């Protein structure tokens, strides 16, 4: 059974939030640079109650059917306001994850003794 490390997961999300805040360009460009430049985060890296939110976020961001440059085409075909909503969703996932710190750390420690 795979049990992710809370600190690594929070670190990845924190780096994504920092990248979104510090990159130049509009929301689409910042979101694209963040998704390409940061370590991949999987739904399995999150606690069960946040996996659905992450899957919705990730599915929305990669919904373009093109074969090449799927992520780039998907993001740049969205309106800037949609990308802003996606950025807010990512921030909310980060906030929710931080609020689950004690429970998540306990869960991780139980399986990794």
Q: What pTM was computed for the model?
A: 0.77
Residue numbers of the domain that contains 65: 6-111
Per the domain annotation, does 20 fall within a domain? yes
Per the domain annotation, does 66 fall within a domain? yes
Contact (Cβ atoms closer than 8 angstroms) between residue 43 and residue 51: yes
Please give the Cα distance from 91 to 85 (Å, whole number): 10
Residue 1 confidence (pLDDT): 40
For the chain, how many residues are written?
Answer: 113
Per the domain annotation, does 52 fall within a domain? yes
Per the domain annotation, does 1 fall within a domain? no
Q: Report pLDDT digits (tens) over 12-56.
A: 999 999 999 998 999 999 998 998 888 788 888 888 888 999 988
Per the domain annotation, does 81 fall within a domain? yes
Instruction: Say how many domains are in the chain.
Output: 1
Diameter over CA atoms, the chain: 47
Element (DSSP H or E) covering residue 45: none
Per the domain annotation, does 18 fall within a domain? yes
Q: Report pLDDT digits (tens) over 62-110.
A: 775 544 467 777 888 889 999 999 999 999 999 998 887 766 666 666 6
10 Å Cβ neighbour count for 97?
22
Please give the Cα distance from 19 to 37 (Å, whole number): 9
Per the domain annotation, does 12 fall within a domain? yes
Per the domain annotation, does 21 fall within a domain? yes
């Amino acid at each position: 059974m795979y049990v992710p490390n809370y600190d690594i997961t929070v670190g990845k999300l924190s780096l994504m939030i920092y990248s979104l805040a510090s990159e130049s360009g509009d929301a689409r460009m910042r979101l694209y640079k963040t998704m390409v430049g940061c370590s991949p985060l999987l739904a399995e890296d999150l606690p069960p109650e946040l996996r659905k939110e992450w899957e919705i976020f990730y599915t929305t961001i990669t919904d373009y059917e093109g074969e090449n440059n799927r992520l780039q085409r998907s993001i740049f075909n969205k309106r800037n306001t949609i990308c802003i909503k996606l950025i807010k969703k990512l921030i909310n996932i980060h906030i929710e994850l931080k609020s689950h710190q004690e429970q998540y750390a306990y869960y991780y420690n139980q399986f990794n003794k």
